[in-house]
Chains A and B, each alone.
Chain A
Amino acid sequence: MAETLLEVNNLAVSYGVIRALKGISFHVDKGEIVSLIGANGAGKTTTLQTITGLLRPVSGNVIFKGNDLTHVPAHKIVSMGLGHVPEGRKIFQGLSVYDNLLLGAYTRKSKAEIEENMELVFRLFPRLLERKKQLAGTLSGGEQQMLAIGRALLSNPEMIVLDEPSMGLSPLLVTEVFEIIKTLQNEGKTVLLVEQNAKKAMSIADRVYVLETGMITMEGPASELINNENIKKAYLGE
Chain B
Amino acid sequence: MDFLETLLNGLSLGGTYAIIALGYTMVYGIAKMLNFAHGDIIMVGSYIIWFTFLRLDCHPSISIALAIICCVILGIVIERLAYRPLRGAPSLAVLITAIGVSSLLQGLPAILDTISKSSNNSALKEKLSGILNPLPIQDMVHTNKLVLFGVEFPISISALVTILITVATMIALTVFIKKSKTGKAMVAVSENRDAALLMGIHINKIIVVTFAIGSALAGVAATLMLTKGTPASPSFGALPGIVAFSAAVIGGIGSIPGAALGGFLIGILETFCNANSALSPYRNAIVFSVLIIILLFKPSGILGNPRREKV
Contacts and interface: CB of A to CB of B under 8 A. Distances in A.
Contacts of A188: none
Interface stretch (B20-28, B131-139, B199-207, B284-292): B199-207
Interface string B184-195: 110110011011
Interface of A: 49, 52-54, 73-79, 83-84, 86, 90-95, 99, 102-104, 106-107, 137, 151-152, 155
A75 B200 contact: yes
B5 to A, nearest CB: 39
A102 B184 contact: yes
Interface size class of B (residues with CB under 8 A): 10 to 19
B187 to A, nearest CB: 6
6 contacts: A53-B197, A74-B197, A75-B197, A90-B192, A92-B188, A152-B198
A91 to B, nearest CB: 8
A91 B194 CA distance: 11
Contacts of B198: 52, 54, 74, 78, 83-84, 86, 90, 152
Given A95-B188, A102-B184, A54 B200 contact: no
Contacts of A94: 187, 191
Interface string B265-296: 00000000000000000000000000000000
A1 B274 CA distance: 83
Contact of B202 (A49, A53, A75): A75
Given A75-B202, A78-B199, A155-B200, A103 B184 contact: yes
B192 A92 contact: yes
B200 A79 contact: yes
Contact of B185 (A52, A53, A74, A103): A103
B199 A106 contact: yes
B201 A106 contact: yes
B301 to A, nearest CB: 16
Nearest to B203: A75
Chain B residues touching A, majority SS = helix
Given A54-B194, A106-B181, A76 B188 contact: no
B306 to A, nearest CB: 13
Interface of B: 181, 184-185, 187-188, 191-192, 194-195, 197-203, 307
A91 B184 CA distance: 13
A65 to B, nearest CB: 17
Contacts of B199: 78, 103-104, 106-107, 151, 155
Contact of A103 (B188, B203, B307): B188
Residue in A78, A79, A83, A103 with the greatest tally of chain B CB atoms within 10 Å: A103
A86 B194 contact: yes
A75 B195 contact: no
B187 A106 contact: no
Nearest to A82: B198
Contact of B200 (A76, A91, A95, A99): A76
Contacts of A79: 200
B195 A90 contact: yes
A139 to B, nearest CB: 14
A157 to B, nearest CB: 11
Nearest to B202: A75
A228 B37 CA distance: 63
Nearest to B184: A99
Contacts of B191: 92-94
Contacts of A103: 184-185, 188, 199, 201
Nearest to A79: B200
Contacts of B187: 92, 94-95
Nearest to B191: A92
Contacts of B185: 103, 106
Nearest to A84: B198
A52 B188 CA distance: 18
B202 to A, nearest CB: 5
A54 to B, nearest CB: 5
A86 B202 contact: no
A103 B191 CA distance: 13
